[in-house]
Chains A and B, each alone.
Chain A
Amino acid sequence: MSNGSRSGKQDRRKQLASLSFSEKVKILEKLRERSKKIAASRSKLARAVDKPG
């Protein structure tokens, strides 16, 4: 990773950390929804692999 992109990432993290707690909790909720969707599609895929056709 270049120094530029690393410092860009750090800046972004600082920017996120400086948001209000309410704003950060909203992001948490979106992350949680995304994690749930990924988990659901994984289990759907696993079922399809177990029962092909």
Chain B
Amino acid sequence: MGDAAVSIGTAPSEITLENIVRHPEGRQILTCIQCGLCAGTCPYGEVMAYPPRRIIGMLRAGMLEKVFTSDSLLACVACYSCMAKCPRNIQLTEVLLPLVKEQVFLRLSQLPTELHKALENTLRYGNPMAESPRKRAAWVKTAGVPIRILAEDPRPVDVLWFVECQNSYHPRGQDISRATARIFCALGVDFAILGNEEKCAGECARLLGETGLFDTLMDYNMAVFSKYQFKRIVTSGAHAYDAFKYQYPDGFRYGVEHTTPFLSKYVDSLKPRLTRKLGYSVTYHDSCCLGRHNGFYEEPRLLLRTIPGVKLLEMPHNRINALCCGGGGGGMWLDTYYKAKGYERLSERRVKEAVKTGADVIATSCPYEISRFEDALKVLGFDKKMAVKDVTELLSEAMEG
């Protein structure tokens, strides 16, 4: 658990190779052997002016300004591929790239509009979609099961379920939330949510270089957490999971889990409840945060295999090699920007691979993936062939009554 939002200062004159290297994470760049595995595995490696390998090379050569004034890093979707493959274990995605991106961010004369709006909205409304914070828990009324909101009932609770932005506001995200709530109730999990007090965890902003926004959200979230008593946080947000686990301060005394691995521990209780046979063939898409970053490859598969009638098919790029949906690190709000530059949409790249497996369903575990893959299926004309469902949706579907 490193320092929250490692930052090397905002004034250009403060950034030198010396003070980059003075940070333990920054010093790691001295160990880079320039093997190029990072650039080779990067999904946008071939379109970046400066992929990770070159960035490290340029930093070491003292060419800081050249790196910081290039918009090459806007093409980084924070997929953890480079970090997972680096033979030197350089904390690329988690530390070095955000550190560099913070400087890039300060120098950008203009942000792509969609990204600009998403960041402003996140600061102002606690979510990137410009939805009112007072509507964040509106979906609860349609959940069909009782859901405790801590502001209304502040008694101590076992699990604080951090729902996340997409899963609170987006119609498909709300489907996931309803499914999750239903499963929690069926399993007798003692849980509550923050409701309208919940705000974005800000991890994608941090990965993009907007550390100020991350810090502001973190300050807010820490203050809200301290109001209530709970043992652990379980979140549906894969990026939120990373924020709490790796970035929040050392004083963060709660255990953190993501819903998918959390539920995988309940397989024995779940199995008898999964009585409806689904009859789908399913291919599981490993999300970057859960998979490459945290190694939760088998847990979602275990859950899927527990569902009767589900046949599991693997895509060629699975587990550590999975292809990112393109939503991380700001990518969620840069589709138009990438398109204008002629980059292939990563969600489309992945969906093509998924369709080739012949599966009926792509199963997902990160909130961004649902809308990105559904969109890609429509654009490519495969939306009648294949559906996208979150793992929790499939579990809920198999749970009768």
Q: Do A and B bind each other?
A: no
